[in-house]
């Protein structure tokens, strides 16, 4: 098999360019003839990623992508050992130090540790089985004792103390030679500058990290200063520690957590857990969450415990670390190539991964919002296989500079909805396609308008669009809108799902036979089940008939035009006094209405210009919905209602609470739900409660329904 055919085997060869061709590739898919070219390309990529990660603190791919390519190369080398190159990146750690820092040779190499690729409990069992095999233990021998620690996501650093004083600090670098960051490390407050009771020579290894809260604060400051934010706490910590100007480092809050030793002139303890306790005693921060356990099941239990606590930790981790606790056994196990035999990293499912953007679909939500959704080549991330991810809105697509066919970084942390973090434009195919949001709703074909406040596109066909229909009907029927009793969520679901109602106007065409018709037979009795009970159907039809007599303000509110609430609907009704005048009004006319600004005016104009909405409104009027002509707003006077605040309490003789509220608002008054010194009148009916008592205590005027009606009339 030729390399070209290997890489072009997928359905979309144009997107399998450069690094993309390795997505989904397994070692057993590569023949011996293809292997040299594949291994050489993998080595080149890994070396590039090493430089980006270790030298420039600007990785272009997530850790999980690097680990996957590294594991692919190592698997190929295991399968074809005669093809392994002496300079393979699997034989060394990280990248060379960058120019600008003095180079420091580590007296004891800072090697990385093996990563278990199985995220489940099997990863812990595999490590224990390997340790027992390498130690020559039988099944009857006691379990091995391990020290379990957190795997920090920061920058590995070595601190050297001589006679109790910090003399140097260096990054890992390539494991043999690192970068001198002593002056920057001295600015980290959690690192002791001097020690008491320490050996003459002591090298403490650990991680420099940035806590989540400090990372968020730093990015806020970056944004305020017009500077580029950091991608994650690890990048922020690495970038801060490796500043050529230590004054910049001092302004950024970094932390250090100790976890191992380098050169040491005398033994600190006989166990790894003892070393950590001795380091803590010397004044070094050590993560509180670490355990000494025995056997593989206890390792797996620690892995699960840390996963549960991960979100609440103040810093980022991407896994846990298992180490043989007995240092004598560690020495006996020794090293292999670039890794110690006695330790391993047991990671969690990657929260970031690289895949291909195969398309962008547009979904219409219940409120009419158009949301672009990335259609992805399936990828395992955050513990699940992800094939779709939100793109939020068209501004986000432009910000990401996305094109169909791009390699993209996808993130899913915990239960968070997957999202596309960034594109990798250097991998872009020449024939990649740009995406444009539709100008008409993909569900109903209505016009689409942009909401400048929320930066969204929205369908204007709120009374017609099937995607919005259930929410539109529930709002239309609500108590403060048309007040249709009996139209709860389950009934609306049934009416829409069975095709009885497609717009609010269809509600008034419902009949008794359709509502009570039998549907599928019951699984229990085998008898047909009615859509609705006989009495329930009668009550609903009666409520629909009563709802035909309403007010213009209620009708306007019921239509569900975006940004038009009860108060705005009342202002529109009082100002224009007819539906025809509102439908014909342009933005300049609408802006003459109190409570109407540019955003609301634009929304109203777009709503009534949409032919689908006007057709539904005509059908509603044809069904018999009517209202009296609204009166103009009443002039304010001492005796009238206009400008006064009322509170309703108890049961009134002839008016419902809603009717009383509507009449007060129509006359220019306000209705509040609580009594205060600003309340002008409390309207009290039968069984008035605490509001009446509070009014009397505050000296607020208390009137009955008759007095209210007299005020409304005069």
Q: For residues 137 and 133, give the distance between their C-alpha atoms in angstroms, rounded to a whole number.
A: 6
Q: Which residues contact 272 (CB under 8 A, 6 or more apart)?
A: 147, 260, 323, 324, 325, 327, 330
| Residue appearing with tokens 């169909």 | 404
In 3D, which of 64, 87, 108, 142 has the Cα closest to residue 345? 64
Neighbouring C-alpha atoms within 13 Å toward the C-beta of 287: 27
Write out the DSSP string of 359-413.
Answer: EEEEEE-TTSEEEEEEEEEEEEETTEEEEEEE--SHHHHHHHT--BT-EEEEE--
Q: Which sign, positive or negative, has the C-alpha torsion 683, 684, 688, 692?
A: positive
User: What are 358's strand-pairing partners?
Assistant: none
User: What are 420's strand-pairing partners?
Assistant: 410
In 3D, which of 310, 659, 283, 360 has the Cα closest to residue 480? 659
Task: Report the run of H or E that residue 215 belongs to, with start and end.
Answer: helix 212-224
* 496 exposure class (CB count in 10 Å sphere: 0-12, 13-18, 19+): middle
Q: For residues 466 and 446, give the distance between their C-alpha atoms in angstroms, rounded to a whole number.
A: 11
Q: Which residues contact 315 (CB under 8 A, 6 or more apart)?
A: 152, 153, 154, 209, 210, 211, 212, 233, 255
Residues in the chain: 714
Q: Which residues of 318-343 are buried (b: 16+ CB within 10 A; e: fewer)?
A: bbbbbbbbbbebbeebeeeebbbbbb
Residue 111, number of CB atoms within 10 A of its CB: 18
- Nearest 5°: phi and psi at 658? -65, -40
Q: For residues 247 and 574, give the distance between their C-alpha atoms in angstroms, rounded to a whole number.
A: 65
Q: Which residues are catalytic?
A: 151
Phi-psi region of 624 (alpha: psi -120 to 50; beta: other; left: phi over 0): left
In 3D, which of 664, 658, 630, 668 has the Cα closest to residue 551? 630
- Say if residues 160 and 166 touch (Cβ distance below 8 Å): yes
Tokens standing for residue 27: 């070692």
- CA–CA distances in Å: residue 259 to residues 14, 159, 238: 46, 12, 18
In 3D, which of 375, 587, 365 has the Cα closest to residue 456? 365
Radius of gyration, CA atoms only, the chain:
35
- Say if residues 559 and 481 touch (Cβ distance below 8 Å): no
Query: C-alpha angle 556/558/564, rounded to 5°?
Result: 60
């Amino acid at each position: 098999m030729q390399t070209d055919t290997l890489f072009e085997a997928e359905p979309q060869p144009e997107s399998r360019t450069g690094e993309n061709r390795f997505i989904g590739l397994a070692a057993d898919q590569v023949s011996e003839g293809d292997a040299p070219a594949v291994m050489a390309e993998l080595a080149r990529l890994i070396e590039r990623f090493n430089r980006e990660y270790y030298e420039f603190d600007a990785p272009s791919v997530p850790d999980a992508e690097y680990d996957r390519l590294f594991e692919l190369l190592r698997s190929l080398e295991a399968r074809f050992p005669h093809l392994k190159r002496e300079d393979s990146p699997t034989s060394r750690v990280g990248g060379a130090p960058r120019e600008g820092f003095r180079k420091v040779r580590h007296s004891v190499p800072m090697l990385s540790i093996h990563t278990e690729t199985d995220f489940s409990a099997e990863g812990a069992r595999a490590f224990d089985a390997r340790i027992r095999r390498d130690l020559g233990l039988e099944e009857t021998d006691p379990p091995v004792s391990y020290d379990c620690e957190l795997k920090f996501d920061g920058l590995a650093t070595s601190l050297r103390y001589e006679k109790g004083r910090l003399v140097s600090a260096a990054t890992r670098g390539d494991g043999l030679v690192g970068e001198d960051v002593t002056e920057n490390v001295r600015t980290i407050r959690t690192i002791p500058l001097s020690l008491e009771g320490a050996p003459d020579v002591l090298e403490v290894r650990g991680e420099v990290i940035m806590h989540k809260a400090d990372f968020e604060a730093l990015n806020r400051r970056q944004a305020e200063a017009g500077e580029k934010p950091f991608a994650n706490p690890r990048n922020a910590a690495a970038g801060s520690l490796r500043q050529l100007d230590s004054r910049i480092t001092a302004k950024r809050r970094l932390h250090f957590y100790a976890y191992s030793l380098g050169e040491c002139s005398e033994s600190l303890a006989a166990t790894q857990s003892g070393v950590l306790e001795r380091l803590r005693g010397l004044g070094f921060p050590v993560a509180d969450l670490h355990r000494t356990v025995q056997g593989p099941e206890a390792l797996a239990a620690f892995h699960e415990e840390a996963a549960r606590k991960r979100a609440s930790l103040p810093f980022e981790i991407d896994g846990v670390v298992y180490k043989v606790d007995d240092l004598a056994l560690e020495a006996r196990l020794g090293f292999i190539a670039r890794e110690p035999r006695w330790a391993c990293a047991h990671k969690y499912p990657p929260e970031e991964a690289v895949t291909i953007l195969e398309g962008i679909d547009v979904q219409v939500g219940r409120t009419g919002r158009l949301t672009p959704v990335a259609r992805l080549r399936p990828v395992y991330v955050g513990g699940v296989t992800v094939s779709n991810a939100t793109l939020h809105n068209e501004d986000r697509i432009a910000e990401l500079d996305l094109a169909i066919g791009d390699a993209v970084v996808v993130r899913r942390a915990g239960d968070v909805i997957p999202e596309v973090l960034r594109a990798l434009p250097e991998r872009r195919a020449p024939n990649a396609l740009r995406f444009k949001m539709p100008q008409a709703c993909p569900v109903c074909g209505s016009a689409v308008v942009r909401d400048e406040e929320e930066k969204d596109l929205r369908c204007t066909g709120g009374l017609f669009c099937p995607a919005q229909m259930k929410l539109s009907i529930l709002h239309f029927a609500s108590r403060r809108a048309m007040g249709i009793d009996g139209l709860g969520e389950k009934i609306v679901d049934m009416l829409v799902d069975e095709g009885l109602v497609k717009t609010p106007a269809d509600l008034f065409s419902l009949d008794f036979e359709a509502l009570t018709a039998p549907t599928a037979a019951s699984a229990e009795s085998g008898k047909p089940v009615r859509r609705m009970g006989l009495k329930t159907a009668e009550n609903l039809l009666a409520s629909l008939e009563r709802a035909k007599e309403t007010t213009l303000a209620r009708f306007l509110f019921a239509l569900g035009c975006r940004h038009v609430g009860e108060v705005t609907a009342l202002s529109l009704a009082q100002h224009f006094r007819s539906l025809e005048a509102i439908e014909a009004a342009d933005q300049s006319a609408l802006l003459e209405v109190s409570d109407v600004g540019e955003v609301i005016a634009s929304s109203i104009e777009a709503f009534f210009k949409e032919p689908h909405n006007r057709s539904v409104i005509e059908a509603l009027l044809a069904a018999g919905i009517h209202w009296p002509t609204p009166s103009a707003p009443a002039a304010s006077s001492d005796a009238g209602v206009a400008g006064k605040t009322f509170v309703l309490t108890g049961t009134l003789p002839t008016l419902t609470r809603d009717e009383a509220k509507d009449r007060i608002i129509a006359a220019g008054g306000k209705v509040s739900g609580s009594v205060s010194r600003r309340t002008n009148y409390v309207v009290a009916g039968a069984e008035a409660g605490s509001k009446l008592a509070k009014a009397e205590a505050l000296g607020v005027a208390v009137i009955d329904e008759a007095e209210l009606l007299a005020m409304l009339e005069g």
